[in-house]
Each structure stands twice: as C-alpha cells, then as structure tokens.
Chain A
C-alpha cells in the first residue's frame, strides 16, 4: 500500500519533469550555445523516478500486496519468487512501466554520450523523445495505472497464467523493449535532424550505433519469444505468423532495412529522404504493434488486455506521432540534388537498394496480412483468417532471388577483381545446385521449388563461408550476419522437410510400434510442487538405430488460476530434437500422445544468435579501430 503510493506519485512527478524538460530545452534551444546542465540532471531525475516506481511495483509483487489491483490480477502467494518478480512486467500495466523505464534510460544515455553533435540537435531530440514519454506517462496514469487501489484488500490473488511462468518469457519483454525503445530514439533523432537539415554522413555515423544496438536487442527479443513458444507452449512450432509475432517482425524488417541504408549514408550523401522515412517507420510500426495487441482489435494467442478504451488512446497517440512526423518531413526536409543519385551498375549502393526493395516487399506482405482482416471486417462484416499458407506463398518465391542477391551483392568486388574469385562465384553456384538436387531427389520432395530454394540458401552459405577460408576479415560483421541468415534458412528448410510425427492413444503399459519407431508408455507418477500438481508420464522411445531415449512429458494442474497445461519433454541434440507431449482425453483412461522428431532445431536458434553476433561485432569494431 505504502509502496503503491510512492510508485504512483513517482510517476506523476516524472510526468511533471517531462514538462519541465521541454520548457528548459526550448529555452536553451533559442538562447544559448552552451548546454544548460540542469537539463542533464533533470533527464537523470526522470529516469530515477521511473526506477523508483518500477522497484515499488516489484516490491508490491514480492510482498503479494493484493491491495494493488495489478498485483491482485496477476499474482498469487504460492508463486515462486522468481516469477513473482518476473510477473511484474508480464502484464499490461507493468509492461508499460517497463517501456517507460527504458524510454527514460535511453534518452538519458543518448544525452550523456552524444558528443560531437550540435547542441540544437541534442535538445530537439530530447524534446521529441519527451513528447513520446509524455504520451506513455499519460497512457499509464490514465488508463493503465499499475498502482490502482482495491479496498477491501483481497486475501489472495488471481495468479499468473502458467504459460507465462517460464524463464525465457521472463527476459523476453525486457530485451524486446530495449529494441523497440531504441527505435524511438532513432525516430526522435531523425525528426530533429530533418528539422535542422543535418541529415548527412556525420549524423549517419552517429545514429548508426543506436540502430545497431536496437537491432541486436530486437533480434534477440524475437528469438527469445520463439524459443519460449517452442519449449513452453507445447505445440512443437516456433513461428505461426500470429498477429503478435508479426507485430514484432515488422519493426525488425524496417530496422534491418534502415541498418543497411545507413551504411550507404555513412559514406555518401544519398538516400537521405529514404533513411528519414525508414527511421520514422520503424518506431511507427512498433507503436502500431502496441496498438494492435493491446486494444483487443485482433484475435491472437498472445493478446494482453482487451480494452477498447486503451485502444483508442494508443490509436490517437499513434496517429498524432504520424501527423507530427509527416508534417516535419514534408515541410522541413530538403531533398538532396538528383545528380548524386547515380550509382554504378555493380556497386555496393545498388545491392543495398535491391535489398531495400525486397525487404519492403516482405514488410508489406506481413503488414497487409496482419491488418487486412480488420479492414475487411469493417468494410463488409466478413471475417476471414490470414495464416501461414498466405505468408509462405508470398514470401518463399521472393526469398530465392533475395538469397542470391545477398550472396553476390556484398561480393561484387569479386566480379571486378581477379579470375579466381570470379570462378568461385560460378563454381559455388553449380555446387549448390547439384547438392540440393541430390538431397531433394533422394528424399522425394516436391522437386523444383525445393531444389531452387535449397540451392539459393546453400549458395549464400558457401559464399559467406569462403570469405572465412580466404581470411578476409574486412567485412566480418556483415559476413557473420549473412552466414547466420543462410544457416537460418537452411535449418528451417531442413527442419520442415525432415520432420516427422506420430500421434497415437496409449494407456499406461502400452506400446506403439511403427516401421521406424517403438514408443513404450512405461509408467506414470505424480508430484506436488509449490503452485501445481503434476502427472508425469514416462516413455522410452527406440528408433531404427537401436538408440533409446527416455522422455517424460508432464501434465500440470495449477491451483490459481485453475488451468491444466501440458509440458512437453524435449531432448535436444546437435542434429535433432525429440519432442513428446501428452494430453488428457476427456472421459477415457488413455492419453493422447504426440511424438515428433525435429531435425536442426538447435541450429535455428544458433543461427539467429550468430546473426545478432554479427551486428554486435559491428558495434564494437569501430571503437577498437579508433
């Protein structure tokens, strides 16, 4: 109760500081050329206040203070401590507080660490960022206050949905938000730079650090979400083109495109308009995503709060931001002269433009697929579903030229340089095609599409691999990232092609035999944990080679909320995962057993880590070279 009050008032104070900051910044902007140090202190103070608020919420959760409405709705005394803490940001209000925490932290860091940039630019970025921060403060305090008071204080809480009680899900939001909020800095900074007409290679080098950092966190955040879905949700998949997943993918696509563009802008004064548009779009897409999942407008596995009032607030906020950015762009942006827009046919700039072209196509596919059902529903009250088949049909054919462009694009030097490189370019293509043809033919898959798909991914794989063999380290971060991407596509492809599944009903003691596998349902035992009871089923599974795996999937019956979840048991090895899950069949004495063999799952995760690692290296590389 006491902590809730502190938390609540900290937020209000924080909001007031936003106004103070804007006042001082505008004054400083007009008047002097030296930074008013009060501004830096206030920025820190604002961050500090949000930290206090956040800590107060955590304490309320840990103490199970059910006079706080958020704690009541999302916690329970028997929840393990780790999840009491993680539950702080596992709900709508707490996660918004986390947004604010990162927003205030990043603008403080931005202000602290940006040297060598004009003062006016720093101040203006601060002002734009504060507008965003005010929006979030208002949203929080008005519609989603984490410190609402309930009286009389309930004895017990409603509990946290058990599928959210998972370590991957505990760190997934913080990491993801670091990515989203980083893009807000890019947004504010781009607007400031546009207004002051300093969008140039100097600005590009400066903002590139922020782009890379946001990008790395966003990539890892999405990865964690997929890992959670795979290990915890128990359906054996990791990506479903669900609206919430798409909503995190869209800013990522825009951010990746921006990352490539900024590499061009760093060196030459071209593509300035496009960079500004991308900077605005990335954060706009993040906010649009926030709108889509928190307003209840879409149907998904992962929706938070279904509250149209909140939805309306975010919608108005989102479109105000769009308004402001459109205004600044159209009125203050002076586009660069046209004669600078000529590139050599085979140049780095051309490859990046082609990359942009394809990325924007992929972005439009995901965007249209996600919001079209809303539009159709409004227009004709007809409800349709847009799911995986749609995205696969539109994305996969374009992935092929994209992969090839990714392979050749960065290596255009090879074409211009010596003969050995040129030969390799063609030789590796032939090897890729032959290899994939052999694989696809041997396993009888749909021949043409798969061959081309696998060969383009293999091509990228070999080309980037070669770079390591000939010890060319000049572009190492890009090489690692692209290599990781090829590995990702290959892993997903092979996982799809080679996965197998057995679904059967078994009683304890029964065995299922097929030509390749023998599943024995050995026994069952029960366990009682802090906030759930579990039924553990023990299986032994033997495959053709005589290798036996012992797997024990669980059924957990939670006390609060009263939900039964099915926990898969997954045995992960370098080559494949063995995945088993059981389900109760209503009214019967047998269980429904689902056993899957999924090759290369580990490689899917490793390849995304590799991709972010590539980005991380690029962040540190310049520092070292200085």
Chain B
C-alpha cells in the first residue's frame, strides 16, 4: 500500500518534466532585483512599462558584453542611486537592517531560556 503510494507520487512528479522550460536565469535574477522607476512598486522584471522594457534590453546587452552581476548593479547604481536595487547592499547604512532581525532572534532565544526551565 505504501509502496504504491510512493510510486504514484514519483510518477506524478516526473510527469512535470515538460513544464520546466529553459529561461535566462541570470537576466531574470537581475531584473527582479531592479526597481522600475516609473512604476509605483514593481520590479523591472514584472513591469511592462517603456522604461522597464528598455532596462531589460540594456541588461541583455550588458550580459552579452560580459558584465558580471555585480558590475551591472554598480552600473545602475551609478546612474540612479541605491534606490534602484531591491536587495539592500550591506554597507554602513544597512548594517542595522540586516543584523537587527538576527539580534532579535538571539535575544528572543535568550529570554526563553532564561525565563523557562525545561525539565526532562
């Protein structure tokens, strides 16, 4: 009974082969990280505005020219500022942003272990 269940599941999953089409992963990754400046809250990947379409063409071009992911981000940061990147860089402005949640997690753990005793 259980092996039958297992077999069905595996067969089921392998039938998805045709669903995975090939796509340009790096381009998607980069354009998902870039903010569309003329939209009110969309990435370049998601947006179909004129600006976004031009950005996508430019990202393509830069990738062909051999720019790395970081170089492309730097290219856009130079022209538009940090605001255009959705993934905040780790610099002196954003240390708190990245570290605070982790800090809260650790403090939470400390509070728990201090206030509760766990008996075996």
Contact = CB atoms under 8 A, between A and B. Distances in A.
Contact between chain A and chain B defined by CB under 8 Å:
yes
Interface of A: 235-237, 240, 242-243, 299-303, 338, 341-345, 350, 353, 357, 360-361, 364-365, 368-369, 372, 376, 380, 382-390, 393-394, 398, 431, 435, 438-439, 442-443, 497-498, 500-503, 514-517, 543-545, 566, 576, 581, 583, 585-586, 592, 594, 597, 599
Contact of B32 (A376, A383, A385, A388): A388
B55 to A, nearest CB: 13
Contact of A383 (B81, B86, B87): B81
B109 interface: yes
Given A383-B81, A384-B88, A387-B87, A240 B42 contact: yes
Contacts of A385: 35, 82-86, 88
Chain A to chain B: the 6 pairs with minimum beta-carbon distance, closest first: A387-B86, A500-B21, A389-B87, A301-B41, A235-B46, A583-B48
16 contacts: A237-B46, A240-B41, A242-B41, A301-B39, A364-B101, A372-B94, A380-B93, A385-B86, A387-B86, A388-B43, A389-B86, A514-B21, A545-B18, A576-B19, A583-B48, A599-B16
A361 B103 CA distance: 9
Contacts, number: 156
A341 B116 contact: yes
Interface in B72-120: 81-88, 93-94, 96-98, 100-101, 104-105, 108-109, 112, 115-120
A357 B20 CA distance: 37
Contact of A382 (B47, B93, B100): B93
A581 B14 CA distance: 29
Contacts of A514: 21
A394 B50 contact: no
B108 A360 contact: yes
Interface residues of B, number: 54
A515 B119 CA distance: 62
Contact of B100 (A364, A393, A498, A544): A364
A500 B23 contact: yes
A387 B46 CA distance: 13
A592 B53 contact: yes
B18 to A, nearest CB: 5
Contacts of A344: 118-120
Given A353-B116, A389-B86, A543 B18 contact: yes
Nearest to A387: B86
A94 B74 CA distance: 45
Contacts of B96: 372
Given A384-B94, A442-B17, 13 more contacts: A300-B40, A301-B42, A303-B40, A341-B116, A357-B105, A357-B108, A382-B82, A383-B83, A389-B86, A398-B105, A497-B20, A500-B21, A500-B22
Nearest to B50: A586
Interface string B21-62: 111000010001101000111110011101001001000000
Given A368-B100, A384-B94, A566-B48, A343 B116 contact: yes
B70 interface: no
A376 B50 contact: no
Contacts of B13: 435, 438-439
B20 A394 contact: no
Interface of B: 6, 9-10, 13-14, 16-23, 28, 32-33, 35, 39-43, 46-48, 50, 53, 56, 81-88, 93-94, 96-98, 100-101, 104-105, 108-109, 112, 115-120
A575 B21 CA distance: 16
Contacts of B88: 384-386, 390
A503 B47 CA distance: 12
Nearest to B97: A372
B115 A341 contact: yes
A58 B22 CA distance: 51
B97 A386 contact: yes
Contacts of A394: 98, 101
A59 B24 CA distance: 53
Contacts of A302: 41
B112 A357 contact: yes
B120 A387 contact: no
> B84, B88, B120 — which one has the most chain A CB atoms within 10 A of its CB?
B88
B94 to A, nearest CB: 7
Contacts of A342: 116-119
Contacts of A243: 41
A380 to B, nearest CB: 7
A361 B97 contact: no
> B28, B39, B119 — which one has the most chain A CB atoms within 10 A of its CB?
B119
> A236, A390, A545 — which one has the most chain B CB atoms within 10 A of its CB?
A390
Contacts of B17: 442-443
> B100, B112, B116 — which one has the most chain A CB atoms within 10 A of its CB?
B116
Contacts of B83: 383-385
A590 to B, nearest CB: 12
A126 to B, nearest CB: 34
Contacts of A300: 40-41
A37 B53 CA distance: 66
A389 B33 contact: yes
Contacts of A581: 48
Given A342-B118, A390-B88, A364 B104 contact: yes
Contact of A387 (B35, B56, B118): B35
A586 B17 CA distance: 38
B19 to A, nearest CB: 5
Contacts of B16: 498, 599
A369 B97 contact: yes
Contacts of B108: 357, 360-361
Nearest to B105: A361
Nearest to A393: B87
A383 B20 contact: no
Nearest to A502: B21
Contacts of A502: 21
Contacts of B20: 443, 497-498, 500
B40 A299 contact: yes
A357 B110 CA distance: 10
Nearest to A245: B41
A344 B120 CA distance: 6
B21 A597 contact: yes
B35 to A, nearest CB: 5
B48 A361 contact: no
Nearest to B86: A387
A49 B42 CA distance: 41
Nearest to A566: B48
B86 A386 contact: yes
